[in-house]
Structure 1
Amino acid sequence: MTVTPGQQTGRLLLIQIGDGGGPEVFTNLCGLQTRSFNMSANDVDTTIPDCTNPGATPQKTGTPGIKNRTFTGSGKFVAGADQTAFMQHVIDATVFNAKVIVPGLGTFTGAWYVTNFTLGGEQEGTMTFDATFNAAGALSFVAE
């Protein structure tokens, strides 16, 4: 596979789960085949009508509101010690440290939690998972 200069390989978009130790060690969430990282902000409407000509069509204006950072991924469920530790956070609905590595951009590090986790599988296939992670606090960003 040839990657055009400046383009990034999608499989390098990663989420790494922290072990809670000091110093904390981060390991890749194994098995991911598809993944996405959403960076959005709510739109706070600041539109006001023209006070001198109230009949005029107002110009919509806005300002950024609450930031939202969400990582989603799906793939093959891989059992192991790292997966067991991660699954305990899912089972207990607890916050944990993680890094989202965006190739060509940088790394977002901080507290995360899983809002949705689904296991699935075909009768003759391997078990799969889908997961959604939301930021649980302010994230630090280090540019690449």
Structure 2
Amino acid sequence: MTYPTTVKGTKVALQLGDGASPTEVFTTVCGITTKGLQRTRAVNDAVVWDCTDPDAPPITERDMAAGDWSISGSGQAVVAELDRIEEAYEAPANWRIVFFGAGTTIVRSYTGNAIMTDLNLGAVNGEKATISITLSGNGELVTDTP
């Protein structure tokens, strides 16, 4: 038998870029324990009729249109991260989701500029404060496989 290589959730990180040029440095956002990347694609639909049998049911043909992406993350609100998160809320920033293999070896990453559309901070007495963010893609999402 052959088993696939899988990735633990702890080996996936949401990272925020520092905006430096020419080499931007990405640092993991501490406290974010749930990470998600959603990619969607719009399509243009056309109903096509059978030319030789107009009573036949038509078919739908689709062409790919614009792609879109968003990232979500949630977890514990870490005080040391709040300034960075607030800064990223105020202006578009470069974000990255990274999948790590052994140690710090990156096996895949998705990087792009995004606008933070949701920033939620919450707290319940007796529990840790929480944070959740939603990032909407602002252009191309680059997939890197080293």
Q: TM-score, normalised by structure 2?
A: 0.83
Q: What is the CA distance between 1:103 and its match in structure 2? A: 5.0
Q: Give the match for residue 128 of structure 1.
A: 130
Contact in 1 for aligned 2:108/2:145 (Cα 8 Å): yes
C-alpha separation between the residues in 2 aligned to 1:52 and 1:103? 56
Q: Confirm whether residue 99 of structure 1 aligns to residue 96 of structure 2.
A: yes
C-alpha separation between the residues in 2 aligned to 1:103 and 1:56? 52
Q: What is the CA distance between 1:118 and its match in structure 2? A: 0.8
Cα shift readout 1:42-75 (whole Å, capped 9, x = no counterpart)? 1321332223322211122212221121111110
Answer with 123-132 or 105-114: which moved more: 105-114
SS of aligned partner of 1:60: strand
C-alpha separation between the residues in 1 aligned to 2:100 and 2:39? 15
Contact in 2 for aligned 1:29/1:83 (Cα 8 Å): no
Pairwise CA RMSD: 2.0
The size of the alignment, in residue pairs, is 138
Q: Identity over the aligned pairs, expressed in percent?
A: 25
Q: Give the match for residue 48 of structure 2.
A: 48
C-alpha separation between the residues in 2 aligned to 1:33 and 1:141? 22
Cα shift readout 1:17-44 (whole Å, capped 9, x = no counterpart)? 0111233211111111222111221132
Contact in 2 for aligned 1:47/1:59 (Cα 8 Å): yes
SS of aligned partner of 1:61: strand
Q: What is the CA distance between 1:6 and its match in structure 2? A: 0.9
Q: Give the match for residue 140 of structure 1.
A: 142
Distance 1:66 1:102, change over 3 A: farther
C-alpha separation between the residues in 2 aligned to 1:116 and 1:77? 15
SS of aligned partner of 1:44: strand
User: Would you identify which runs of 4 or more consecutive aligned residues in structure 1 move more than 3 Å?
Assistant: 102-105
SS of aligned partner of 1:101: strand
Q: Confirm whether residue 36 of structure 1 aligns to residue 36 of structure 2.
A: yes
C-alpha separation between the residues in 1 aligned to 2:112 and 2:33? 23
Cα shift readout 1:72-118 (whole Å, capped 9, x = no counterpart)? 111000011x441231221x2x1111212245762122211111111
In the TM superposition, 1:58-97 aligns within 5 A as 58-80=58-80, 82-90=81-89, 92=90, 94-97=91-94
Which structure's residues are more often strand, by fraction? 2
Q: Which runs of 5+ in 1 are unaligned?
A: none
SS of aligned partner of 2:85: helix
